[in-house]
Every structure is written in C-alpha cells, then in structure tokens.
C-alpha cells in the first residue's frame, strides 16, 4: 500500500534553485534604532534555546497514530472512502498524513531560514538586520527540530507541496525587501502558527506537542517583527505600490485557503485521489484550519495598513472580515506563555 522509502520521491528530483534578483544594502547609521525593534532583538537574544536539550528526544511516536491526533483531523474522516478502510489501512493514512504535514513544516522552515537571511542582506535598517539575524538561528533550530522529528521518528518524508513551493518561489524571487517580510513573516508564518497550534493543543503525544509549542514561541516573535517593520513602511508607499501588495495578499490567501490539501498522500497510500481531494476540500478538518489561519492573518494585515477595498472585499467574500477585530498581539503573547507552561510541566515530570 505504501512506499517504505523515507522520501516518497528521490531528493535530486525535487530540489530547486530560485534565480531571483536580490539587492544588498549596507547602512552606516548604527545608533538610530527604533526602540520596539531593538527590544525585540533583545528578546530574541535572551530567548535562544537548544533543540537537543529542551526537547526530550527519548520519547517516541505512537506506532498506530504517530502524534496521537484525533481522527477528526484526518481530512477524509467520515467520507465513504474512510468508512471502508480497514484498521490497518487507517494506520497508514494517519502515518502518511502526519508525515506529509511535518514535511511541509520542515520545508517551510527552510524557506523561512533562507528568507530571513535575505532580509539581513536587503533591509535598509540596522535594527531590522540585528533582529533578522536572531531569526536566522531560530529558523535553523526549527529546521533541526522538524527534521529530527521526521527522520528519526516518522522515518518517512514527503517532498514540498507544489502550491507551497509556488508561494515560496514568488517570495524568494521578488527583489523588493518588503515582499519577503509580507510573504514570509506575515503570510507563511501566520499559516505556520495556525497549523502548529492544532498539534500543540490537541496532540496527546508529548514529543510532537512540545516541538510545536517551542517553535511557536519563536514564531510569535517573528510575526511581531514583520508587523512592526511593515507598519512603519507601508504608510510611505504610493497608492499604486500599496495596491500591488494588496493583490499579492489576496492571491496568497486564496492559495493558502484552497490549495494546501494533502493531495500527494492519497495516491501514495493507494486511495482514489480525486474523491479524497473533493471530500477534504469541505471537511471539518479544513474548515477548522481555515478559521485558525485567518484569525492569525486578517488582524495583522489590517494592522500593517493593507486594508484597501480589494483586501476587504476578498475577506468579506471568504467570510472572515470580522476576524480583523481580534487582538493579534494577545494571541502571540499567549503562544509565548504556552511554551513556558510546557517547560514547567517537563520540570515537574522530571522531579516526580
Ligand atoms: Fe520557523
Ligand atoms: Fe519563523
């Protein structure tokens, strides 16, 4: 039914190079940093952690349901295809579905690593270069943690999803520095927070939950960085320049809402691809995911000032316009607290 290879496709067929245009900016103003950004840089330095110490890698995943997620999280749960599966086949679907998801996290984290390095190179302010430098090491740590989870524990990995790849490709190849922030720090990191949160809050497997909790603590800082930097910059753009950014936001939001379905999984486990895709599009799992996704993205997009008619109309059509009233900073603060709570629980368990 499934391939036992660690990767479902050989890596030399899937790696790719982006030939974009990137300018490099050096600045000579070292002292005139913005307090909010320098405070975030300070926080970034103090909150560094080591993935091999903070996470207990002696823990294992479950053989039948690796991250101990409820079956409602399976996009085809409740479908006629799902109902006909034997117990053994359900185990395959869970394992492949979860490995697909963690694979996308891993590849997305590598995208973040590359994008943050690009920000260091391009951004025309020293305070932002400082902060982005702390984020480079954060993203390397995230790649390390998801890679260990995938390669040591799942022993199965998927290539990058073609739609996620297309989005990343757009962001990496654009020469305008703020597109890197907008695409990565606001949109893809918003997507990441929505996806990680589900596992952090629902997984009954301590290893999987804690990897996601700790990564989210960093991601919350990263989104805050994107907000601060763009909030200062976007008011200075012309109407036309802002319209280009808004168009990009709308397109990316539709892509994230409609395209990121686990389409590679169904064929790999021998199920009818078209039927599974059609069912999963409107499944409970996807509906909940979209709610979390837009609660992370919509208030931030409003906050950075990309709130023209085009964006508002699109969110209205998607039924998510009301989410603009959410307090995104409060959500990010909560993400930081949850990770601290994981540390407390670990210490208590060790003491016992
Ligand atoms: Fe990350
Ligand atoms: Fe990040």
What is the per-residue pLDDT across 151-178, written as a single tens digit (0 to 9) for each? 999 988 999 999 999 999 999 888 888 9
Question: Rounded to whole angstroms, how far apart are CA atoms 305 and 235?
Answer: 7
What's the domain count of the chain? 1
Scan for tokens 């397109």, then name that residue.
Answer: 251
The C-alpha atoms of residue 297 and residue 253 are separated, in whole angstroms, by 9
- Name residues with Cβ closer than 5 Å to ligand 2, which is an ion: 112, 219, 222
Is 267 a member of any domain? yes
Q: How many CA atoms lie within 13 A of 64 on its CB side?
A: 6
List the structure tokens of 19.
Answer: 């030939």
Is position 28 within any domain?
Answer: no
Is residue 328 in some structural domain? yes
> Quick check: is 198 in a domain?
yes
Ligand nearest 221 Cα, by number?
2
The CA 4 to ligand 1 mean position distance, Å, reads 28
- Name the residue range of residue 298's domain: 34-351
- Model pLDDT, residue 8: 66
Q: Residue 278 Cα, ligand 2 centroid: separation in angstroms? A: 31
Which residue, among 197, 189, 191, 194, has the nearest Cα to 213 in the 3D structure? 197
Could you tell me if residue 27 is inside a domain? Answer: no
What is the 256 CA–ligand 1 centroid distance (Å)?
17
- Looking at residue 27, its pLDDT comes to 84
> Confidence class of residue 1 from pLDDT cuts 50, 70 and 90?
very low
Does 11 fall in a domain? no
C-alpha 219 – ligand 1 centre gap (Å): 6
Q: 157: which strand partners?
A: 7
CB 139 within 8 A of CB 109: yes
Q: Any idea what the CATH number is for the domain that residue 93 is in? A: 1.10.620.20
Inside any domain, residue 279 = yes
Mean of all residue pLDDT scores within the chain: 90
Is residue 104 situated within a structural domain? yes
């Amino acid at each position: 039914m499934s391939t036992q290879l660690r990767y479902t496709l050989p890596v030399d067929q899937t790696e790719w190079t982006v030939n974009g245009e990137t300018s490099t900016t050096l600045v000579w103003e070292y002292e005139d940093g913005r307090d909010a950004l320098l405070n975030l840089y300070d926080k970034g330095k103090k909150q560094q952690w080591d993935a091999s110490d903070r996470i207990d890698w002696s823990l294992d995943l479950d053989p039948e349901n690796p991250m101990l997620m409820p079956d409602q999280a399976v996009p085809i749960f409740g479908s006629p295809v799902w109902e006909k599966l034997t117990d053994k086949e359900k185990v395959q679907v869970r394992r492949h579905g979860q490995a697909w998801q963690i694979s996308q996290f891993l590849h997305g984290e590598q995208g973040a690593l590359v994008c943050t390095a690009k920000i260091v190179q391009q951004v025309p302010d020293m305070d932002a270069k400082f902060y982005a430098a702390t984020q480079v090491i954060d993203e390397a740590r995230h790649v390390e943690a998801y890679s260990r989870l995938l390669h040591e524990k799942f022993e199965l990995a998927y290539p990058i999803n073609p739609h996620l790849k297309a989005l990343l490709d757009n962001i990496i190849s654009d020469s305008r520095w703020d597109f890197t922030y907008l695409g990565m720090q606001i949109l893809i990191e918003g997507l990441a927070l929505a996806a990680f949160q589900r596992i952090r809050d629902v997984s009954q497997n301590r290893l999987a939950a804690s990897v996601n909790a700790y990564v989210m603590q960093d991601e919350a800082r990263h989104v805050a960085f994107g907000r601060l930097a763009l909030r200062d910059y976007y008011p200075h753009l012309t109407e036309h320049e802002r319209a280009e950014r808004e168009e990009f936001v709308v397109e990316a939001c539709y892509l994230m809402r409609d395209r990121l379905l686990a389409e590679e999984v169904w064929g790999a486990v021998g199920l009818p691809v078209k039927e599974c895709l059609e069912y999963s599009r409107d499944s409970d799992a996807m509906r909940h995911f979209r709610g979390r996704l837009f609660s992370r993205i919509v208030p931030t997009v409003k906050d950075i000032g990309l709130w023209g008619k085009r964006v508002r109309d699109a969110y209205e059509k998607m039924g998510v316009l009301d989410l603009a009233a959410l307090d995104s900073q409060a959500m990010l603060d909560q993400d930081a607290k949850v990770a601290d709570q994981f540390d407390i629980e670990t210490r208590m368990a060790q003491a016992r």
